[in-house]
Structure 1
């Protein structure tokens, strides 16, 4: 039986390293969130709702997803008891989505779980700042 030697990661191009790191972090994060009854999309919605209720369309725009995607996400979140939807008193044609106490608690648990997920990376803020800088530069086309 032959064994394949471990790859020498130090020889990989930076882009490949970033892609692998992102995939591994996403897989771990998805597993942690699933244990809380959440998806990544659900966490983004909860995070966006933490400052107050929003109509579905505004929530979808802020989360940068389609109205249909947000509708499915909110259906799952409401079924889990993380959000409620009720008619907007200012405009009966639309509904406002708000976090429940349970939704706020699970959001806080997810936020607290993140540092352990990455093995303490970014605890000092430097790693996060570098990521934000990279994303900003790539988004701008630099």
Structure 2
């Protein structure tokens, strides 16, 4: 999409929302080739340090438990995660990344640079995005 002449005058929120949607679409297209969704990639990333309860995954992903349940069902069906009873709490199930999930996660992150365009100062962009996310998270989830 060529630059629309008025984009220079768009409010920052509109630019950020548009950029986020475009990156999400690019990620979606890239991740289709890996066989996972963006939500699935977030779950696989959260499981990098070991098993977590479904409710904890939802909390860390900042989504409702019901939303997380659908994502986990798909990941489990596709062989990327396993859910087992939590030995410390019979009502809870622990979610673990499988070897197939590990491979999908590794492949997805190796493709990030092809899905997200390069910027002049990626470290500065990351720092500014983190600042925005942290500030809004503190307001919403503290």
Fold-level match, TM-score > 0.5? yes
Kindly indicate whether structure 1 or structure 2 has the higher relative contact order, using CA contacts under 8 Å at least 6 residues apart: 2
Whole-angstrom distance in 2 between the partners of 1:31 and 1:71: 23
What is the aligned residue count? Answer: 137
Whole-angstrom distance in 2 between the partners of 1:65 and 1:122: 32
Which sections of structure 1, spanning at least 5 residues, go unmatched? none
Is 1:122–1:128's contact at 8 Å kept on the other side of the alignment?
no
User: Aligned residue for 1:75?
Assistant: 73
Is 1:82–1:101's contact at 8 Å kept on the other side of the alignment?
yes
RMSD of aligned Cα (Å): 2.3
Classify the secondary structure of the residue corresponding to 2:111. helix
User: Aligned residue for 1:17?
Assistant: 15
**Which stretch of structure 1 is more off in the superposition, 130-139 or 100-109?**
130-139
Cα separation, partners in 2 of 1:15 and 1:71, compared to 1, 3 Å: closer
User: Aligned residue for 1:61?
Assistant: 59
1:48 to 38, 46, 49: 46
| CA displacement 1:60-96 (0-9 Å, x = unmatched) | 2222222211111111001111001112233333221
Tell me which structure has the larger Cα radius of gyration.
Answer: 1
Which sections of structure 2, spanning at least 5 residues, go unmatched? none
User: Aligned residue for 2:4?
Assistant: 7
More helix by share: 2
Normalising by structure 1, report the TM-score. Answer: 0.82
User: Aligned residue for 1:35?
Assistant: 33
